[in-house]
Chains A and B, each alone.
Chain A
Amino acid sequence: MCGTCGCVSENGVTILTPDHSHHHGHRDDHNPDHTHHHGHTHSHDPQHTHTPTLPRTLDLTQSVLAKNDRLAERNRGYFLAKNLLVLNVISSPGSGKTTLLQATAQNVGLSCGVVVGDLETDNDAQRFRAGGIPSIQITTGTLCHLEADMVLTAAQHLNLDALQLLIIENVGNLVCPAAYDLGETLRVVLLSTTEGEDKPLKYPTLFKSADVVLLTKLDIAEAVGFDEATALANVQAINPTASIFPVSAKTGLGMAAWYDCLQDYRAGIGDPS
């Protein structure tokens, strides 16, 4: 349900821009090769009947995510042409994504915009905007992850030419977002100290897909009995190639190394203007 006019958008996905104009998510909007075949397939031959044809097997072997993967590749090219470093940030609900990304956007030294996905509300986009960070909210309704086409449509509401870093805060969920490439440069997965050291072992698919893992809320590690060494070992066992940064967005602990990492990646993308 759209918060502005009460109408229901197709498939429940709505993009909320700062002026609260809204775009009902026809998710094929920006798909150049999309054509509408409104499926009336009956020939108008009067002889026509629904006689079954010969039983047969059609061999397809098609990836079910092929369409999203294709759109994600297109996003990647589009973002690259704009020299953007793009992060797809994924974690459980409440692991500290918004807090960490606010600090990042303010301190990393790159001009930054945010696309944020939640099931409902534009609270997170408002939190970013309150800190002066351009931000677009996607509310997904019942959909538990962002897909490539939604991200492009939302990102185009930001002034991308003025940005160096585009951050996508995905819907808080450790399962579904893993399968959907958004065209990001880096997939960043958060594990907060309150979640337990064995999260990577319980949600291996997501942790295996990470380029960077951030251990967050380190300031309260002791209070919640979080064993950093065990957590590090678990992440490394599941994903031996991920870069890992233990941080606290609250105290700033470890954040400099994370910012340096982003600066290095951005410098590798092209014109570091």
Chain B
Amino acid sequence: MHELSLITETLAIALRNAEAENAQQIHRLTMAIGAASGVVPDALQFAFDVAIQGTIAENAELAIETIPVTCQCPQCQTQFSPPDWIYECPTCQTLVSQTLTGREIQLKSLEVS
């Protein structure tokens, strides 16, 4: 249920930026959500529909771009996209902890007028 907290913060950032740009309306928010971020896009969408009521984003659309997980093997430097939650290097079978991408929770852009 932290999607509601996340959307509240996202909307706060959006409204601050829209206001700074003298925009009267926000038409679209685009978020980038990593596949390993723990965020459920449907829950985010649901929370968004509630949170925008009574704001200049009232009729806005939420677009969610999913960022796949990529890793780099610390042993052999192979870059790979793991097929599941176990990040095993396809070249040397080392188990990898770190990710290069896939944990993002970002507000990418706004369409305003």
A residues with a Cβ closer than 8 A to B are 39, 41, 50-65, 67, 142-145, 175-176, 178-180, 201, 204-206, 208, 236-241
Cα of A7 to Cα of B104 in the assembled complex, Å:
37
Q: Which residues of B contact A143 (CB under 8 A)?
A: 5
B109 nearest CB across to chain A (Å): 5
A205 x B97 contact (CB < 8 A): no
Count chain A CB atoms within 10 A of each CB in B5, B104, B109, B110 and give the residue with the most.
Answer: B5
Chain B interface, DSSP helix/strand/loop, else mixed: mixed
Cα of A116 to Cα of B62 in the assembled complex, Å:
35
A59 x B97 contact (CB < 8 A): no
Give the residue of A51, A55, A237, A241 whose beta carbon is less than 8 angstroms from that of B112: A55
A33 nearest CB across to chain B (Å): 14
Give chain B's interface residue range (CB within 8 Å of chain A).
35 or more
A38 nearest CB across to chain B (Å): 12
A52-B113, A53-B113 in contact; A67/B19 too (CB < 8 A)?
no
| B64 located at the interface, meaning its Cβ lies under 8 Å from any Cβ of chain A in the complex | no
A55-B111, A144-B1 in contact; A204/B36 too (CB < 8 A)?
yes
The 0/1 profile, CB within 8 Å of A marked 1, for residues 13-55 of chain B is 1000111011111010001100011110000000000000000
Which of chain A's residues has its CB closest to B6's CB?
Answer: A64
A196 nearest CB across to chain B (Å): 16
B87 nearest CB across to chain A (Å): 8
A239 x B38 contact (CB < 8 A): no
A64 x B10 contact (CB < 8 A): yes
B residues with a Cβ closer than 8 A to A are 1-2, 5-6, 9-10, 13, 17-19, 21-25, 27, 31-32, 36-39, 85-86, 95-97, 104-113
A50-B24, A179-B2 in contact; A59/B109 too (CB < 8 A)?
yes
A55 x B38 contact (CB < 8 A): no
A239 x B97 contact (CB < 8 A): yes
B13 x A60 contact (CB < 8 A): yes
Cα of A239 to Cα of B36 in the assembled complex, Å:
13
Q: Which residues of B contact A55 (CB under 8 A)?
A: 27, 111-113
Cα of A144 to Cα of B21 in the assembled complex, Å:
34
Give the residue of A58, A64, A145, A236 whose beta carbon is less than 8 angstroms from that of B95: A236
Cα of A89 to Cα of B13 in the assembled complex, Å:
30
A56-B111, A237-B86 in contact; A205/B38 too (CB < 8 A)?
yes
B18 x A58 contact (CB < 8 A): yes
Give the residue of B19, B37, B85, B96 whose beta carbon is less than 8 angstroms from that of A179: B37
Cα of A241 to Cα of B74 in the assembled complex, Å:
12
State the 9 A-B residue pairs at the shortest beta-carbon distance, nearest first: A205-B38, A176-B2, A240-B95, A204-B85, A55-B113, A52-B113, A58-B110, A241-B97, A64-B105
A60 x B86 contact (CB < 8 A): no
Cα of A142 to Cα of B2 in the assembled complex, Å:
10
A58 x B97 contact (CB < 8 A): no
Give the residue of A54, A63, A237 whose beta carbon is less than 8 angstroms from that of B105: A63
A64 x B38 contact (CB < 8 A): no
